[in-house]
Structure formats: C-alpha cells, structure tokens
Chain A
Amino acid sequence: MSDLRAGGGEIESSGDQGSFESGDVSDWLSRLGQVEESPAAPGKAQPVQGDALPDWLAAPSEKGDPNVPDWMEELGINPSPPAPPASKPSPPPAKPSQPASKPLQSVSKPSQPPAGPFQPAARQEEEDVPDWLRSLGRQDAPASPVQPSSASQQETPDWLSSIGAGQSAEAFPAEDSGSLPDWLSNLAAATDPGPAASPPKQPDPSDRAGQKGAAFQTPAAREPALPSEPGVPDWLNSFKSPEPADAPPPEESSSGLPDWLSNLAAATDSGLAAQPAKQADLPDWFSQMGAASTPAASEPAQEADQGGLDWLSQMGAASTPAASEPAQEADQGGLDWFSQMGAASTPAAPEPAQEADQGGLDWLSQMGAASTPAAQEPAQEADQGGLDWFSQLGAASTPAAQEPAQAADQDGLDWLSQMGSAPTSPAASEPVDQGGLDWLSSIKSTEPAQTPPAEESSTGLPDWFANLASSAASGPAAPPAKQADLPDWLSQMGAATETPATQEPASPPAQAAPDWLSQFSTEPAPPAQEQSGDDWLSQFGQRAFGAPEETSPAEKAEASPPAWFADQDGALFDALRAGAESSAEEKPLTESKPAAGSDWLSNLGDSSSTPSSTPAFIMDDESANWFGDEQSPAVGDTGLSESPDWLSQVSPDQASDEALTEGEGESPAEALAAADMPSWLEAMRPVEAIAPDAFKDASDTHVENSGPLSGLRGVLRAEPEVGRIRRPPPLLSKLELSAAHQSRVESLETLLAAEGKAKPVAVQPPVRPQVILRLLIAVILILATLWGLVWSGAQQVSLPDRSLVESEMTEVVAVRGMVEMVSNAPVLVSFDYEPALSAEMNAIGGVVVTHLQEKNAFLTMVSTSPLGPALADQMINYVQAQRGITYTNVTNLGYIPGGAGGLLSFAKYPHQTIPYSIDSTFTPISPFTSNSDKGWASPALRAINTVADFALVVVITDNADTARAWVEQVRPTLDADTRLVMLVSAQAEPFVRPYYSESIQPDKQQVSGLLAGILGGVAYQSLRGVESAPWKTWDALAISSLAAALMIVLGGVFNLFAALFARSRRAKNGA
C-alpha cells in the first residue's frame, strides 16, 4: 500500500473516473464504493447501503464508519470522508493553477475536500477499473474540469476508498471512486486533495513522494484538469497528456481503467493530431514507445479509451499499424496499455469494431490478444470495467463465438467470473463488459471462437485473465475481436492450451484456467464441461449469491466473491448477494454496461451464467480442471493421499457434468456443509485413521507392558540387548604375525641396525699408479739434466756446424753482423725476462753480451721488469766471470715503468723516463765510492737523447708480449742505422719470428736479428768459431728433451691401452 501511495504521489490526481454501473459490482463492493463517495462527487449511481457487506466488512460500520474494516481503522486509514453526492451538478472548472503533480498526501488525511473533475455520464458506464486502481489513479490524474460523474461508487472497497478519500474526497466525485475499490479511492483521496475543491496546494518539500511526483510531472499535468476517464484512477490519468481545454470531451473514454492507466494511454496519444480521444499523460518514455511504431495519423477511428495504461497499449501497437484498426473502440480504460502489449503481435487491422470497454485493467485483456489475430475479433465490445482482464482470462478457454449475446456486465471483478466461464463455453465471445479486467477476456479470446462482429464480451473478468483463457482455448480460427492485446508471455500461456481448443471447436475445453494450471491436464476437458479451472471463482459467485440456474444478464451482473471468500462466511455472501441484487435493480445489467472496478466480484456470478445452464459453483469440482488428470483416482480411493482434497479431486471424472450438476442442485448451505472440514485439514489426519492395518507388522507380537506405551503392540523395544551381562571376550596376549609381516619387521630391523654403522670407505692405495708415473717422469728428467750438467765430462752433444748455421740460421748470422758493427758504440740492452728462465736466457744472451764486450760496446742496460736490473747485473757478472775481466763500460739504468707506454716514453725521452741510473743516482750520497761517470753522466751516454741514438738495441726476453711491445713502441722510433735484435727464449720464438724476415731490407725490418733458445745461442757460438768451455747446458738439454719425449710417448701409449682396456671392461660389465 505504501508503494501505491508513493506512486500515487508522483502522479496527478484526476477526477476522470470511468463510469460504471453499480449493478456490476458485488454488493459488498458496492457498499464499499459508497463509503468513499465524497459529497462533492456527483454520480448517478446511488450508494449501496452496507447491509450486504460481509461481517468482516460490516463490522467496522458498527463502530464508526460502517465501510471501514477494523484493520484499516487500525492502520489509521480513514475511509470515511463525507459521502459524496451521487452526482455533482456543476463540476468545478479545471484548476489552472493546480499543480500537475502533487505531493503524495498522507493517507490519513480524510478531511481533504474532494475536488476534481467529474466524469461525463457516458463514461460512467464503462468504468471497469477496480477501485483500487481507480483510487490510485485519482491521486495523480489531472482534474478534469467537466466530468459529470454518474458512476456508481460501490465498487471500491473501503480500504481503498479510505485512502483516496483522505485527500480528494471532494475532488473525486462519487462516480469516480465508485468504480474503484475503496482502498484505491481512499488512496487517491488521501494523496490528492482535488483540483476543484481544494486550493492549489504547493508541493510539500519535505514530502519526498511529492517531489518525485513533481519530477515526473508532465507539462500537461499543470494544465486544467482534464476530464478523466471513468474507471481509471487519477494516478493513472495523470499519465495522460494534457487535453486541450477546448477539446471536446471524449466520447468513448468510458473505460474503467484506472486513471493512471488512462493517462498512460493518453500520453501515448498526445502526439496524435487526428485522435480525438483525450490524451493521457503518459510518461515520455512510454509515449515514445508507442509512438515509435504507431503513426498517429494512421489511426483515424481508433477511439480506444486508453486511460492511464495506454502505454502498454501502444507497446502492443508497436507492431500494429494503427491505420488498420479503423473502428477499434476498445475502451481500455486505464490498463489497456497492457492490451496494446498484446497487440504487439497482433495485426490490428481486422478489428473494426472492437469496443471492449476495458475499464481499468483491460490492459491485461489485450495481453491475451497477443496470440490472437485481431482480425478475427471484429466487434468485440467487451466492457471490461476495471478488472475485466480477469474475465478475459476466463475467456481464454471459452470460444467466444459461441456466446454471441453474452453481455454480462462484469465490471471490476468480472475477470474472476470469466475465469469461471472459461470452460463453460463458447460464449465467451459475447459482448462482455469486462470492466478493467478484460485482459483476461483477451486470454480467452485466443480460443478459436467464432465471434460475431458485434459480440460484446462483458464477462467481467479482467482482460488479462480473459485473454489468458482465450489464448488457452482459442485456435487459429476466428477468435473474438479482442484477442490481440495480450503480451507474449500471456499469449504463450494461451497458446499452450490453444491447441486442444482448436481441435475441438465445438467442445471448448473446460480448462479456462491459466496455462500453468491447464498444462497439468493431459486431456482436454469434456466438450460440455463448463467448469474449468477457475470454477472456484464461479463457485464463489454461486456460493455467495446462489448458483443461478440460467444465465441471465441480471445474473451476470451479480458479482460473485471468490470461493475463498465465500467459504469464510455464508452470511457474508448472502449480504453481498443482496447488495448485488439491489445494484442490479438500479441498473439493468442486460446492457453491456461495464461494471466498475469491483466487477471481478460481480462476474463471479457470471461464471456460472453460461448458456449451458451449468451450475457455477460445485464444491467438489473446484480444482478439477486446475489439475486435470494429474492425480490418480486410486489415491483418492484408498484414502491414503497426503494431498489435500483440492488436489486429490483433480480428475477428469470430477470435472464431469455430473459433478457440476450436483453442484448446481446444492444450495449454498449444503455446499457449505460439505466443506466443513477444510481439505488441508483433512489431509493432515493420521494415516492410521484411514488405513489402521496398513502399517502393522504381523510378525511383531510384542506388546509393551510397561511405561506410557504399555499395552501397545509394535512398539520398539528399548532394551533388547543392553540389559544382558556378558563376559568380555578374552584379549589376545600374543600378536599373531604373518610371514609377510615377519619379513617386513626383519627388513626394518636391518635398516635400523645399519643406520648406526659407519659405511666403510674405500681404501685408496698409498701409492697410486699416477703418482708413480708422475714421480717417475720427474726423476728421469732430473737425472737427465744432472747427467748433462754434472756428470758428463766433455761435450756430449756436438754443436751445430757453422756452415749449417750459416745456411740454415740466417737470423743468427744477422745478429752476429750487427754486433760486429757496434764497436765502441753505445748499445742498449734490455733484460726483460724472469729469473725462472735465467738459465736459458743467460745461455742465449751471454754469448751476445760477451761479443759486445769484446767489441767494447757501451752497454746501457734497462728492463721493463722490476727484476730486470738485477738480472742485468747478474749477466754482466756472469760474463765477467766467464771472461775473467771487469768490464766498466756498462751502466744499468734500471727499471722502465709503464709497460708499453713506458717503452714509448723511454724510446723518445730516455732522460725524462729514467733520469737516474742505479749506479750513479746516489753517488753523491754514497760515502764510499764515486760513480760520477756512471749513468747519463757517462761520456758514452751524454750524446744519447733518444733510443735512436744507440747503435744497437738488443732485447733479451722470454715474453712474446714484451718483444711485441718493443717492436711496436720502440722500433718506430729507431732510424735506419739503429737495428733491433731479439734474443728470445724458445717458447717465444714463434711469436717473434714473424717480425723477422730475411727477405726485407735490414733498415725496414722490424726485427733485424733473432736468436731463439739454447739452439740459437749454440748456433751463434758455433758461428763465431770461438773456443769456449763446453756447453753443459746443451748436453743437458739434449738428454732431458729426449727423455721427456720418450716418457711422453711411453706414458701416452700406456694410458692409451689402459683406457682401451677400461672401456672394454666396462663394455663387458655393462653387457
């Protein structure tokens, strides 16, 4: 309810109410409608006294307001505004300053003067909107300036009226609220004070709902109140677009739709210039939906009064060319928006004269039409005021063509009656006044009903219900005119049951129930079976008002409360029936007048008013068609069924005519007597009560003899074994182990024992063969060297022949020639070798240094190694020792730091690089000797400025890199007269020899002479032909080198065969 209020707060109130006949409403609803009639609300219908109210409704009247139930009073809802007059003679003009959207007023504002438009009398007949919807629409519907209201007001329950009356008791005439349930009327009244009687009320900023309503307020809503459609709640009418003030009153806007639905419809039509009908205040979003696919000009004759809910109608029209509906006059007050949803899949062109007055909720009726070609419903004029959507649901299973003259005015709650009529017959296509709920009729209309063009199906069911039924029962044959407005989901529902109906057009299925229920049935209902799944609705009418023997218009007008309602209290329905009868007297119901919003109740009586005179209310057949053949009859026979009766009785046989006939013959009192025990309660009875011996165990003869269960048989004994005293079984003291376990234990013990033991390490032999071989090689080499140096007396190995050296060793010859030319000249000798190779280098350099001394060359000794100066002195001393003289033309300049850079520096700037010699640097300091003639101060070196000033450069080195550095850094600084001679070790020979080439001119050679190794020294000695001491080194070299070669060969061969043997052994082991 709060939601409804909130929603209503967003919508303008409107006095546009669909007019409807009070006779279409059940008494109890009619009485409810009287409650909310405001004094200012005119209407033709006289309020119905509350004598027909059920007790639960009548009880509040005794206290204060007879129309207000206790629960509503407890809620603070005051549904007792001043009773509106039956009609309002002079409707107040539209309030220009009335805000289109008013904030939602408190529900507890009953004193709000009713104000608002009045409906024209022509519309009052079509107010089919339920009261609850109508009252909702009243909140927001714009007040129509001229809306003479004559609609009956009894159709609105008090609880709705109390809501609407709270605010707009004056704004809404009696006929406005008459077709709406009271709770809706009150809701509208509570939220809308009414534009006519109440001053313009500013929206309450604190009212959130009101603000929201203002937000949704359309410009049209601010215009003078538009004539609201009957049966449409104001809040639905508020959706309508503003109607021009000078616009003629809509002629056919008599739908019983709530205003909010009507406004929705009008909103979608607002942009249509050629559409004379009033324009609803649809929201833009919805109006655009309809306008998107529906050209306005293409609907010249469409006069559907789509109050409030036209937006749904236009949804259906999205796929429906409006031009193809020339005479469609479906009065779809309020909720026909839903009907147009159904029209989405319906070609509307073949519906020339559809005038279904679907007051209020006929939007649902058109849902059923979604699966029904509208062309097959030429002139359906179902006046479905208010809730006729439900009536169309009943029509879903009823071929409409078979009841051409059915004109039950089932405003309001006729959807329920159509549910009952669904199985009844093919007469669903009669012009049914389905006030508001004709959407149910449209469901019915999906059946292959051969509806006459002018058929008016005023089944009173809501449209959605009718359509639902019609969709279930109709086939592709000619359904009534109102078929096409069901939405897909309802259409599919109808289509589900459509097939059997199509196959048996003459025997419409009795399953007018919704598809979800009808699908339970595996067999179609018998042809003549008139009680369908909605029999409970029909029976409701029968129980409340007595089952009519024959269908008559007056009987159709009797609103039948639901069975659940009827079961509550028979007296209640008696009172309701009385009210209905009085309403019928006031207004002939033979006419296809749409009942007001509560006609869904009045149509309950119509559910039995089928041409076949089938009693509408049969207690035992309530749910026969709801579940079809799903339930097995055997279950019911045995009485063991755990399902309630309403389920257990679902069987085809129970849906037979016989049962129906029996139901007809019963009086309401009898029917009530048969239902003393509710089925659900009966289903709870113990099984033993039905089959006391079914679960007894014959073998169990024990009878309990103690305790509270004493004397009972079959009781589970509590202590069959517990009480016994037994000796405990002896425990085995010995563990039995199998052989496998024993083996595993032994394995574990072995592992544990081995864990503490040290693993034996393989003992290596103290002297391995490799060590022996290594030692053997060392011993052999040592012995060979010693033998050559020590123990050999004479020269063991002869020196190379001079001729051979001259022919084979030209580099040696070159060295000798250059040394011969340096007599008394400064010679630069570099000692760049390591002490480790001093033996070899002394053998090579000694012969050259000796030759130089013999030439009396001034030896200037340098070194790029820190140990070079010491080696130089050692060399000089060695030569002196060899010669036995002291050679003084020697100066040791010492170490040249800087590597290659130092060589470059020394080559260009020797004085700067080594300013002091070892011998002369500290002479002044030395107290013992005077070395003033040493170093750069010596006479031989005074003319030396660069390395090029030396006569010869001799490099004694064992390092190839050092030799390369001399070649690269010093040789370029030398001139043609200065030569570079290399005395290198044997290991450096390969790297130095490339710099020597005998084919190149000596002045251009990088290395002018080369002596390599001991062989070079021996060759130089041999070349000179000078007698000297025997070359012990030569002998030692000869012997040791030969021994090494032999050892390498022998050792290699030995290891080769050892390796081959090992491979073959591994190969054998591997194989």
Chain B
Amino acid sequence: MKFSFSWLVALLAGLAVLVGYFVPILGWLQELVVQVAVLLASFALLAGIFNLLGVHWNRVDTGKPGSGYSILLVFSFIIPLITAGLDFWFSGRPMGYWTLWAFRYIQVPVEASLFALLAVTLSYAAARMLSRRLDIPGLVFFVTIFLVLLLTSPYISVFLTQFGLGGVRNLFTQVLAAGGTRGLLLGVALGTIATGIRILMGVDRPYG
C-alpha cells in the first residue's frame, strides 16, 4: 500500500466521523470534520460554477464550433446574477420578485417540458420494444409497464377499487416493487460499508 498524504487525510477524516457515531465524547471531532466538509463542499460548488463559466467563456473567446451554446450558458449565468442583484438592491433579499419570476416562468417550464418529453419517449420506446426484442423478458417488461400504467390511472384504480380490486395496484407498487427496492437498498448499504472500509484502508482512492 502506497502511502500518500491524501490517503492519510481521508483516513483520518473517515475515522473521525466513524468514531463520532460510537464514541459520543468524540462528537466534537466528528462535528469539526463535518463542518470542514460542508465548507469545502460549498467552495467546491462555487469552484465548479466558475470553472464551468470559464470553460464556456474560453470557447466563446476562441470561437470554437458550438460556441453559440456557450454564449447561451454564459448569458443564463449572468441573468440570475442580475436579477438577484436587483432583488437584493430593492427588497434586501437575494431571492425576490424578479428572481422568482425568472424561476417560475423560465426554469420551471423548461425543466418540466423536458421531463414531459420523457413521457413521450418512454411511451414510444415501450411501443417499439416488441419489434426490437421479441422474447420472454421483453414481453414481461412490456406487460408490467402496461399494467402499472393502467392501474396508476385514476380511472382504472377507482374502477378497480369500486369492485374490490384496489389491492391489485398495491400489489405491483407496494409488494413487488417494494420487495425489489428493499433488495437494492440492502445491496446499497452493504456496498456503502465495503466502500467505506476500502477507502479507510486506502484500497480505493477516489480522491486521487
């Protein structure tokens, strides 16, 4: 195992947080490390924002292909700053009227529209699935989609509920899906433990 300073820092930080769970007396150490981590994460967010702005500004400056999109990104970055400045100047809050206006009428509709396309795309993919993969798993997947979507529909659920078949939807969403999700969560938990141990041991060094 190659010794490195970054590994030493990661080891000490991890041990400090872990010890804080089992030894309440050393909670202060856990607090210290977590506060430092939050602070670094905040600066990391800022660093990421400025890095992204610099990259696209460089692309605009050099006139590389696709620089128009970079101009749009820079412009989108500048507009919230202006609105926030105006809100702060006039209302004393960085998130005032203009900022919420832009958020409500620009950002939310854009993201909602993109998410709505997902519904169309998923529907089309489900319809084309049988032409691309005509086998048992494909058929099972296709039937499952159809039933969940159909049972989710308020019309169908209400109809079934009226006939005492409301539990059919719960069978899919709370039994089958929940069972699979529990398994996934257990796997995630075990994976998290293993990853934490590996990081503490220096086997995995995602920090470089």
Contact = CB atoms under 8 A, between A and B. Distances in A.
Nearest to A1044: B123
Given A781-B120, A798-B158, A929-B92, A899 B41 contact: yes
Given A835-B111, A897-B38, A905-B35, A777 B166 contact: no
A918 B153 contact: no
Contact of B34 (A808, A835, A904): A904
A838 B112 contact: yes
Contacts of A898: 34, 37-38, 41-42
A1015 B188 CA distance: 28
Interface in B127-176: 127-132, 134, 142, 145-146, 149-150, 152-158, 161, 166-167, 170, 173-174
Interface stretch (B50-58, B60-68, B70-78, B177-185): B177-185
Given A1052-B142, A1055-B131, A991 B31 contact: no
> Which secondary structure characterizes the binding site on chain A?
helix
B119 interface: yes
Interface residues of A, number: 79
Interface string A828-856: 00000011111100000000000000000
Nearest to B119: A781
Nearest to A1037: B154
Given A798-B158, A808-B170, A836-B112, A1044 B41 contact: no
B124 A774 contact: yes
A929 B129 CA distance: 59
B108 interface: yes
Interface in A902-923: 902, 904-905, 908-909, 912-913, 918-919, 922-923
A305 interface: no
Contacts of B145: 1048
Contacts of A800: 157-158, 161
B112 A991 contact: no
Question: Which of A929, A1039, A1052 has the most chain B CB atoms closer than 10 A to its own CB?
Answer: A1052
B124 A877 contact: no
Given A897-B38, A897-B45, A1052 B127 contact: yes
> Which secondary structure characterizes the binding site on chain B?
helix
A495 B61 CA distance: 107
B149 A1056 contact: no
A912 B35 contact: yes
A931 B112 contact: no
A1045 B114 contact: no
B132 to A, nearest CB: 8
A929 B131 contact: no
B174 A993 contact: yes
Interface stretch (A188-196, A236-244, A863-871): A863-871
Given A877-B100, A901-B37, A1048 B123 contact: yes
B185 A991 contact: yes
B95 interface: yes
Nearest to B33: A901
A549 to B, nearest CB: 112
A797 B185 contact: no
Question: Which of A774, A801, A1060 has the most chain B CB atoms closer than 10 A to its own CB?
Answer: A774
A1056 B130 contact: yes
B205 interface: no
Given A774-B124, A1044-B123, A1052-B142, A1038 B154 contact: yes
B178 A1042 contact: no
A804 B154 CA distance: 14
B104 interface: yes
Contacts of A913: 35, 38
Contacts of B152: 986, 1015, 1041
A1044 B149 contact: yes
Contact of A870 (B35, B100, B119, B173): B100
Given A869-B95, A1055-B131, A836 B161 contact: no
B115 interface: yes
A897 B42 contact: yes
B195 interface: no
B6 interface: no
A901 B13 CA distance: 12
Contacts of A1056: 130-131, 134
A925 B91 CA distance: 10
B41 A927 contact: no
A973 to B, nearest CB: 11
A989 B110 CA distance: 25
A870 B99 contact: yes
A1051 B127 contact: yes
A1050 B130 CA distance: 11
A718 to B, nearest CB: 86
A1034 interface: yes
Given A837-B115, A990-B173, A1015-B157, A781 B123 contact: yes
A773 B131 CA distance: 13
Nearest to B90: A928
Contacts of B108: 835-836, 838, 874
B178 A993 contact: yes
Contact of B127 (A837, A1040, A1055): A1055
B10 to A, nearest CB: 13
A770 interface: yes
A1058 interface: yes
B157 to A, nearest CB: 7
Nearest to A811: B174
Question: Which of B31, B93, B95, B99 has the most chain A CB atoms closer than 10 A to its own CB?
Answer: B93
A969 B100 CA distance: 30
A1047 B125 CA distance: 11
A773 to B, nearest CB: 7
Contacts of A1037: 153-154
A926 B41 CA distance: 28
Contacts of B196: none
Contacts of B41: 897-899, 901-902
Given A994-B185, A1056-B130, A922 B103 contact: no
A874 B150 contact: no
B153 A1041 contact: yes
Question: Which of B132, B145, B152 has the most chain A CB atoms closer than 10 A to its own CB?
Answer: B152
Contact of A1051 (B94, B119, B128, B134): B128
Contacts of B129: 1052, 1055
11 contacts: A777-B127, A781-B120, A835-B103, A870-B95, A902-B37, A902-B41, A928-B92, A1041-B149, A1047-B123, A1051-B128, A1055-B129
Listed from nearest, the 10 A-B pairs whose CB atoms lie closest are A926-B92, A1051-B127, A1055-B131, A836-B111, A898-B38, A836-B115, A1038-B154, A990-B177, A898-B41, A1041-B153
Given A835-B112, A892-B95, A994-B185, 16 more contacts: A804-B166, A835-B107, A836-B111, A866-B45, A870-B95, A922-B92, A926-B88, A929-B93, A989-B173, A991-B185, A994-B182, A1034-B154, A1044-B119, A1045-B146, A1051-B124, A1052-B146
Interface of A: 770, 773-774, 777-778, 781, 797-798, 800-801, 804, 808, 834-839, 866-867, 869-870, 873-874, 877, 892, 896-899, 901-902, 904-905, 908-909, 912-913, 918-919, 922-923, 925-929, 931, 964, 986, 989-991, 993-994, 1015, 1018, 1034, 1037-1042, 1044-1045, 1047-1056, 1058-1060
